[in-house]
Structure 1
């Protein structure tokens, strides 16, 4: 696993990234950054922690609102035969834990 440096709302974070996952992680970072900046730029909130919570809620709502995709048949090696797999609850919990760890390193949340 390699580490990549990213910036969210002007704050740098060093994130662990699985091999081959950098494009997806950078896309996720970009999505989170856009969401947080939009909330900040609306001018109602200044605290990074509150902005992060609202952004997380907005993104979770967006994810929950997406139509469910039926699982596809798997190939012999267990990989999906077509389309992209849906994230499992365990995978989402792991991502949330990683976000919590990244945000906990920022001593200037309030």
Structure 2
């Protein structure tokens, strides 16, 4: 698969980036997040050099990432895929438990709750 060229703007400056088409939306979102963080640093501090603003924004974003990673490791935050797996397993257990009592219609046995 060939890489697509996209243009993003960070602090008003254009940047051309190459990425796989299926990753374009994520890259655009990431660039927008970097732009927002750099604009926040610029507007809330006396820092004026673009390189210094970039470093401060990178430190801020890295700090957010580390806090999120720690919360996942400590069980405070659970990844969506893990939640879906748990819900599916619970649905199966509920279906199995209720099946002998005929409390569910046949359609409900397959998937009690739709998980998207």
TM-score by length of 1: 0.61
- For residues 65 and 43 of structure 1, the distance between their equivalents in structure 2, rounded to whole angstroms, comes to 23
Partner residue, 2:81: 83
CA distance in 2, matches of 1:52, 1:3: 23
Q: Where in structure 2 are there 5+ consecutive unaligned residues?
A: 74-79, 83-116
SS in 2 for 1:44: coil
Looking at secondary structure, tell me which structure has more helix per residue: 2
Secondary structure of 2:22's counterpart equals: coil
Match of 1:53 among 39, 52, 55: 55
Partner of 2:14: 12
Distance 1:68 1:33 in 2: 26
Match of 2:26 among 14, 24, 39: 24
Residue 21 of structure 1 aligns to a residue in which SS?
Answer: helix
Measured after TM superposition, the shift of residue 19 of structure 1 is 2.2
Per-residue deviation, 1:68: 2.2
Q: With a CA cutoff of 8 Å and minimum separation of 6, indicate the structure with the bigger relative contact order.
A: 1
Three-state SS of the structure 2 residue aligned to 1:40 is: helix
- Of 68, 71, 75, 2:72 maps to 68
Find the structure with the greater CA-based Rg: 2
Q: Number of aligned pairs?
A: 73
Q: TM-score, normalised by structure 2?
A: 0.58
Per the alignment, residue 107 of structure 1 pairs with none
